[in-house]
Amino acid sequence: MTEFKPIGLIHTPNTDKSLTPIQSARSDLPGTVEVFSQYTEGLQGLEEFSHIFVFYEFHKSEKDIALLVNPYLDEKKHGLFATRFPCRPNPLGFSVVRLVTRKENILFISGADMLDGSPLLDIKPYIPEFDVFDATRTGWFKNRSVK
């Protein structure tokens, strides 16, 4: 099995889990993605994309996991894998953020919904032709109102 190692660090104003936005689409907070210098060459051309996927470790999530959880926006328990609850067997987070600009190995982003100091695991470009789907079912979330 592959062991993942960080390729950088994410810097955001989010230091308190309870005050952190729940999804990047609901955030306009700025942040920076610092890619370690040995990976800078791999960023070539990334600035041509308006949005990117950022994969990171939930480095401050609880280590004890439950398979039934109460997700944000619902009071009923659901299976962990039917939610975006952060306490998971593999504490992997991902967000789609707006890429504002790139300066060398630093990516300036908007839409920060991750905690400051989150270890960066990977980056991929967001491509609407591949990444947007018409969802026909949204499970327990279908009757929720999000502002």
pLDDT value, residue 146 = 58
What CATH fold (topology level) applies to the domain 8-143? Elongation Factor Tu (Ef-tu); domain 3 (2.40.30)
Instruction: Name the stretches of the chain with pLDDT < 70.
Output: 17, 19-26, 143-147
Distance CA 23, CA 91 (A): 16
Distance CA 94, CA 102 (A): 20
Residue spans of the domains in the chain: they are: 8-143
Task: Give rounded-to-5 percent helix, strand, coil for the chain.
Answer: 20, 30, 50
pLDDT value, residue 140 = 82
pTM of structure = 0.86
pLDDT digits (tens, 9 = 90+) for 43-72: 999 999 999 999 999 888 888 899 999 887
The separation between the first and the last C-alpha atoms of the chain, rounded to the nearest angstrom, is 41
